[in-house]
Structure 1
Amino acid sequence: MSQGIAVSAIAYVIPSEVDEKATDLTRFHFDDASFAYMTELAPLYNAENTNLHSFHKRGGHLILWHGLADQSISPLNIIAYYQGMQREMGVEQTDSFLKFYLLPGVGHCRNGEGFLPVDFLTPLMAWTETETMPNTIRTERPVLGEGPMLPPLGEHGKPTAGGQIHMAPMPNQPYAQANVASTASNPVYPYPYIAQYTGTGDVKDAQNYRPVKSPVFVPMIFASHEVTKTVPPDF
């Protein structure tokens, strides 16, 4: 999956000119020259600008999330971006309009062993319209067969043509269904807080957890116009 995303990006998206030969990763060298080549269009593509003052002044609210089991894009990147925004705008101001969540066990976009689907739209709307800050997001594991349905598989268990996105089956219902029966629930708290079991009650019930600050420290920080210095090829 990671290779499928990488070769397409290197050949058709990242360079200033299409290079179909780049689909052969054996031709790609992980050196300073290649890094400079890959960052030529970085200002256009990279979501690295940590200065969101204008967005904040217009009353904008933002929810960021990333799966901790993402096998294609490391969650360290978004942690670095979030911490860079805090440095740029200040911790208090950043947290007044932005909430960032890490989903345990969730892969790239979905997949993985984590609890899915997750409804981020409803809390974002409530935050925008009624100033109800989303300090907790409830995640659930639906009963097998419930929730967004995947397209039928074709020969040899592979998705049918046109039924893929990022090398994974694309759901034919791209939204979270309301009132889907679940077998378990967990809370997710804004980074850097994680869910800790209180020690009493059903471990499969989100109400029996509390937020605790994670002891893990991530030193990476993105800064506007400095990303190529922050994450060099030999990082």
Structure 2
Amino acid sequence: MNAFERPLLAAAVLWAGIIPVHAENASSFTAAPPDAPFRSTPISPQVACTAIERLVLPEVSFLKSRSVEATDRHPAHCQVTGVIQPEIQFEITLPDAWNRRLYMFGNGGYAGENLAEASRQDTRNAALRQGFAVVQQNSGHDARAQPLGSFAENNLGKLVDYASRGVHVTVTRAKDLIQAYYDRPPSYSYWEGCSTGGRQGLMSAQRYPGDFDGILAGAPVLDFTGTQLWGVWNAQALAKAPISLRQLPVIAKAVLDKCDAVDGAKDGLLADPRQCSFNPAQDLPQCAEGQTGDQCFTQAQVETLQTIYGGVKSKGEVIFPGQLPGAELADASGASGWKEWIVSEGPKSRQLAYGESFLKYFANIPASQPNLDWKQFNFDKDVEPISRIREILDANNPDLSEFEKRGGRLITYFGWADPALNPMMGVNYYERVRRTMGEDRTSNFYRLFMVPGMFHCRGGFGPDRFDAMTPLINWVESGKAPESLQARQVSSSQVVRTRPLCPYPQVATYSGTGNIDEAANFSCAQP
């Protein structure tokens, strides 16, 4: 590596480290009752933990196992680590008291995580305490050495591992190990992931329908290609007329003033932002000619906002939906959802960091273009050639009949105020599945829950804490479909709001009486 390349790599590693990569919602199993079905009579290992190392498994080039004693954070277990060719690192954790179920959780962003990082171990331990055999993998590369999308530079194999193969081969080998260790296969297998982890879950349902019985896919970046183009589109618009962080509260107030009461409850939430008719040209204070400031918007800034809200266009046609109103609002810390994701005072927004990396290393596979200038990307001429990557990476197939026929159950959720991934991806995909498979048939195995006020996977200014994993398990094993999810909003360790989350297209409707922050005063109804 020469002296010129070192600072570039350091900057990329910094970006990879500060961009949050959520694998799940972090509320799984919190609603599990003491008699939850997965707390069944446990199964003990039938061989020694060290015997795992002697197994010869297809494509596994390295295998290490060790016994771990119980602590206040996790029960006693056998920890297995290894490598699946060529570079997929995995961890499989086998509890001494197994509940006969497999739980695998996903990756975030461009993946490549260190499997031992604290947040991933916390997720693992939460499932391990419930008795699950827990599985995770890094999608075939190390983000510390190859940050963002750089791992795919002239490497189609690593791209395919990231897209879908990494999850599939890992869960397949995990089932082999479980069979060898307990002398029986898992009775049920479950997936949970958010963001990239949500896309991985949908990819499994579409391409490997036998891998999981239940899939929880949060905020899935199912149109990965469109999402990255969206980030570049927004960045190009902001390059023409930047919006400052100090202007975001003005936009947020204008959105609430215009739309808060549209859903029948003036509560600071937009139950369905599609009902909001916010128009920057009409609803924002305009700067006088020659004037600038934090409390008004120039004509150029208004046009920038209209471009962002209007969606990505190619040859006059919208090819990816625009930003929905509502994500401009701030969370409890006072930070707008747009901060860093869309508007940044640093060198790049997070949307641009992801989108630029996509253009350089993914868009024209296998011929990477590391010197590509995102500012020169032409949305009328350069979109159409990006086709092969869609077939490899996007999880857009609405035909889930094979997954359904095998008895699979699928829950997806999306924050209506997600600034990182457009929530209309989730809505539009669900609508396509309903058109493809029929409304009644779809609701029998697939449900979508939209979350007012939630940012990306969690956080925001609405009820973002909910356990969707326990209802999914109940649905798979007991046939009880979730009619709603109970969500909480927490501030300073105190619950400040509860609200039911309703299966789309239903919405939580206020009764008109009672505390507007209590779920008991809302019911799920058709809009």
Asked if TM exceeds 0.5, the reply is yes
Instruction: Specify the alignment match of 2:391 in structure 1.
Output: 43
- Does 2:446 correspond to 1:133? no
Matched residue count: 177
Instruction: Specify the alignment match of 1:187 in structure 2.
Output: 500
One-letter amino acid of the counterpart of residue 190, structure 1 = P
- Does 2:382 correspond to 1:19? no
Instruction: Specify the alignment match of 1:196 in structure 2.
Output: 509
SS of alignment partner, residue 29 of structure 1: coil
Give the ranges of 4+ consecutive aligned residues of structure 1 lying more than 3 Å apart after TM superposition: none
Return the alpha-carbon distance in structure 2 between the equivalents of residues 111 and 18 of structure 1. Answer: 35
Larger radius of gyration: 2
Deviation at 1:202, TM superposition (A): 1.7
Q: Report the more deviating stretch, 122-131 or 48-57.
A: 122-131
Return the alpha-carbon distance in structure 1 between the equivalents of residues 457 and 352 of structure 2. Answer: 16
Instruction: Specify the alignment match of 2:466 in structure 1.
Output: 118
Q: 1:19 to 1:108 in 2, by over 3 A?
A: farther
Contact 2:359 2:374 in 1 (8 A): no
**In the alignment, which of 183, 186, 210 is matched to residue 523 of structure 2?**
210
Deviations 1:75-114 (A, max 9, x none): 2222111111111111110110000011111122223212
Instruction: Specify the alignment match of 1:4 in structure 2.
Output: 353
One-letter amino acid of the counterpart of residue 19, structure 1 = Q
Q: 1:96 to 1:13 in 2, by over 3 A?
A: same
- Does 2:379 correspond to 1:66? no
Matches within 5 A, 1:72-83: 72-83=420-431
Return the alpha-carbon distance in structure 2 between the equivalents of residues 106 and 14 of structure 1. Answer: 30
Return the alpha-carbon distance in structure 2 between the equivalents of residues 109 and 116 of structure 1. Answer: 8
Return the alpha-carbon distance in structure 2 between the equivalents of residues 61 and 83 of structure 1. Answer: 17
Deviation at 1:5, TM superposition (A): 2.3
Contact 2:451 2:464 in 1 (8 A): no
TM-score normalised over the length of structure 1: 0.70
Return the alpha-carbon distance in structure 2 between the equivalents of residues 112 and 11 of structure 1. Answer: 31
Deviation at 1:200, TM superposition (A): 2.3
Instruction: Specify the alignment match of 1:106 in structure 2.
Output: 454
Return the alpha-carbon distance in structure 2 between the equivalents of residues 110 and 89 of structure 1. Answer: 30
Matches within 5 A, 1:169-188: 181-188=494-501
**In the alignment, which of 361, 368, 377 is matched to residue 28 of structure 1?**
377
Deviation at 1:66, TM superposition (A): 1.1
SS of alignment partner, residue 86 of structure 1: helix
SS of alignment partner, residue 134 of structure 1: coil
Deviation at 1:192, TM superposition (A): 0.9
SS of alignment partner, residue 371 of structure 2: helix
SS of alignment partner, residue 101 of structure 1: strand
SS of alignment partner, residue 35 of structure 1: coil
- The alignment's C-alpha RMSD in Å is 1.6
One-letter amino acid of the counterpart of residue 91, structure 1 = E
Structure 2 spans left out of the alignment, 5+ residues: 1-340, 342-350
Deviations 1:40-88 (A, max 9, x none): 2211111110111010010000001111112232222221111111111
SS of alignment partner, residue 211 of structure 1: strand
Return the alpha-carbon distance in structure 2 between the equivalents of residues 21 and 80 of structure 1. Answer: 34
Return the alpha-carbon distance in structure 2 between the equivalents of residues 139 and 106 of structure 1. Answer: 11
Deviation at 1:13, TM superposition (A): 3.3
Return the alpha-carbon distance in structure 2 between the equivalents of residues 140 and 18 of structure 1. Answer: 45
Return the alpha-carbon distance in structure 2 between the equivalents of residues 8 and 122 of structure 1. Answer: 36
Higher relative contact order (CA 8 A, sep 6+): 1
Return the alpha-carbon distance in structure 2 between the equivalents of residues 102 and 185 of structure 1. Answer: 15
Instruction: Specify the alignment match of 1:85 in structure 2.
Output: 433
Q: 1:119 to 1:5 in 2, by over 3 A?
A: farther
One-letter amino acid of the counterpart of residue 34, structure 1 = D
TM-score normalised over the length of structure 2: 0.32
Structure 1 spans left out of the alignment, 5+ residues: 147-180, 215-235
Instruction: Specify the alignment match of 1:57 in structure 2.
Output: 405
Return the alpha-carbon distance in structure 2 between the equivalents of residues 11 and 118 of structure 1. Answer: 37
Return the alpha-carbon distance in structure 1 between the equivalents of residues 484 and 465 of structure 2. Answer: 15
Q: Percent identical across equivalent pairs?
A: 29
Return the alpha-carbon distance in structure 1 between the equivalents of residues 440 and 522 of structure 2. Answer: 25
SS of alignment partner, residue 36 of structure 1: coil
One-letter amino acid of the counterpart of residue 130, structure 1 = S
One-letter amino acid of the counterpart of residue 29, structure 1 = N
Deviation at 1:118, TM superposition (A): 2.3
One-letter amino acid of the counterpart of residue 21, structure 1 = N
SS of alignment partner, residue 509 of structure 2: strand
